[in-house]
A and B are shown apart, each in its own frame.
Chain A
Amino acid sequence: MSDTLLTVEDLKVHFKLPRPHLFGPNPIVHAVDGVSFRIKRGTTFGLVGESGSGKTTVALAVMRLAEITSGRVNLGDLTISDLDGDGLRHARKRMQIIFQDPYSSLNPRMRAGAIIREPLDLMEIGDESERDDVVSKLFSNVGLRPEQQALFPHQFSGGQRQRIGVARALASQPDLVVCDEPVSALDVAIQAQIINLLRDLQRDFNLTYLFISHDLGVVQHFCDEIAVMYLGQIVEQADRVSLFSKPLHPYTWALLSAVPSADPSAKNRGQRVRLQGDPPSPIDPPAGCRFAPRCPFAEQRCKEETPELRTFGENHVAACHLVTDDGVAPHTR
């Protein structure tokens, strides 16, 4: 078994919009535009970025829930991007998703036990009595009581509902679990419960997570490796220690400095960089570096040449012309 579970190569997802004029061309949204990364088995890979950066679309494309325009997605030795029909249905056993909103992602008319059992029935895993056992085991794994199987979703609190969502995702014993903002709809005190649960389950079942979040505190706590996305592309990727201690891309730096710090001794309080405006439209992304129009350091070259991802040190890549070859970022000069 190889060390890498998921490989994404040059993934592109483009959406066609309706024509604005009778004879005009369809505008195309470049939601994901050439994204590549690998996730090691048993680790957590984080995708961060502002809304509209394409992080959710990457996850949906990996799950084959959004149509892939071009590129390859491999899960182990299986090329997911080529599958269809039954092959894809069987592959879905190996990848599952936990959604953001535990209120809208559970069927209000199904009992909790049936919700968790449904993937087993649909994917024809085990016989009747085995399925019952699996459901009861999952219930205790996620910290719910067995008699709660007979309750409906509205009888649970938000945190408990998210536990049901987690149990449902784990029912088919997947290798890869995509977590799309799994705690952002929950109260702060409940977030910690779910994050600890996800971590325990990862240890117990050797799960691999693709973790999407805009909460950088959670990402720093939970992810082993992190990619920062901007307008459909990865602009920087590193392990958690390097990314947060030494961000190279000016966008990563601005993003990190925008997070309000609850530590009153934090030095940079009140004197930080502010990005102006909103990200440009992914329909007509700017030429050259996509971040250049908002970048405080942008030079003429940034507006003309598209920067490639370059490697700096072990496991740290960034796409910026202004980072010197020995890894000195523009904002540290």
Chain B
Amino acid sequence: MSEQRPLLEVEGLRVEFKTRNGIARVIDDLHLSVMPGETLGVVGESGCGKSMTALSIMGLVPIPPGRIAAGKIMLDGEDLLQVSESRMREVRGNEISMIFQEPMTSLNPVYSVGNQIAETARLHEGLSARAARDRAVEMLHAVGIPAPDKRVDEFPHQLSGGMRQRVMIAMALTCKPRVLIADEPTTALDVTVQAQIFDLLQDLQEQTGTAIILITHDMGAIAEMAHRAMVMYAGRKIEQASVDEILTNPKHPYTQGLIACVPHMTSNPNPEPARLQEIPGVVPAMTALGKGCPFAPRCAHAMDQCRSQMPNIETVDENHLAACHLNAQLGGQGA
């Protein structure tokens, strides 16, 4: 995969929002890239800029109050920040599409699901009504909905949560996008349904070579689905590596905390469970960021340097990036 060119590349992206309390820099100096057929996991707490990253790529940041202050979003050599709105409309849903978190609120309740799936095909491929309907049935079948020729005429409220999320996926995949952004696609679902959805996404990726950006707070989902993972905090990328590397050898104290604070299910539980490790405090407000490392107030290893100087993201190991002064000091040995 290393010789291939990345399909989507975000370079130095900075997004700002004007708020009553001043300018909030919700994304700062963000770089990411994803290869064809690859899944990139994006992890972090709420308010760290994960979803805003997705909206920026889709060209859906509300402007104003938002503003793309700097950066490039390159899709196969084309900078999506420079193209016209009509070109962007062609890209959206056709070359890049997105699965949203809430299947109940992201579907239109007054149109049948078939109608909503067919709309994408009619808009982007100019299919006739009949051909678009056939495509909708085909897509519902592909995402594993039983009796698709009947379901195609049903409305969102007639479907269960898992089925609605499948409809969302069917909609997103109708035009065989090259990049699929999945923003917490299974958070609202039961684990059994989540497993089905993950299988489905993996199968589709194998067949079509779609690049997936999976946004989640669940390290388990990342381990299951992604090839590479990046961790975000306060609008910045603070660590990036292959999934196995990040899970077994996290370098940034925030990543270490995220992995340690979640009780992981095992098949040989300890009879006396240990106390969970906490990350004290909460994510800082985006308007109240100081000069130093945004994680310093919550970090057990914070030094004077951390409070006064923003750490740059640097290579700490082969294909492993982290933004932490401790790593620089310890020569990449980690905190």
Contacts and interface: CB of A to CB of B under 8 A. Distances in A.
B226 to A, nearest CB: 11
A188 B282 CA distance: 11
A50 B273 CA distance: 25
A35 interface: no
- Tell me if A's interface is mostly helix, strand, loop or mixed: helix
A188 B283 CA distance: 12
Contacts of B192: 50, 254-255, 258, 274-275
Given A50-B192, A260-B224, A244 B262 contact: no
Interface residues of B, number: 51
Given A220-B265, A260-B221, A199 B247 contact: no
A264 interface: yes
A159 B261 CA distance: 14
Nearest to B190: A50
Contacts of A275: 192, 195-196
B128 interface: no
B42 to A, nearest CB: 14
Interface stretch (B27-35, B159-167, B173-181): B159-167
B271 to A, nearest CB: 6
A130 interface: no
A254 B196 CA distance: 12
A257 to B, nearest CB: 8
A218 B220 CA distance: 13
Interface stretch (A24-32, A82-90, A190-198): A190-198
Contact of B265 (A51, A190, A196, A256): A256
A260 B259 CA distance: 14
B267 A196 contact: no
Contacts of B244: 264
Interface in B185-235: 190-196, 198-199, 217-225
A263 interface: yes
A245 interface: yes
A272 interface: yes
Contacts of B199: 274
Interface of A: 50-51, 157, 159, 187-193, 195-196, 199, 214, 216-218, 220-222, 240-241, 244-245, 254-256, 258-264, 269, 272, 274-278
Given A221-B276, A262-B264, 9 more contacts: A50-B190, A187-B45, A189-B279, A192-B277, A217-B263, A217-B264, A241-B271, A245-B268, A260-B191
25 contacts: A188-B217, A189-B45, A189-B258, A191-B261, A192-B262, A192-B277, A195-B276, A214-B191, A217-B262, A244-B267, A244-B269, A245-B268, A245-B269, A255-B192, A258-B192, A258-B194, A260-B195, A260-B223, A262-B219, A262-B223, A263-B223, A263-B247, A264-B223, A264-B247, A278-B193
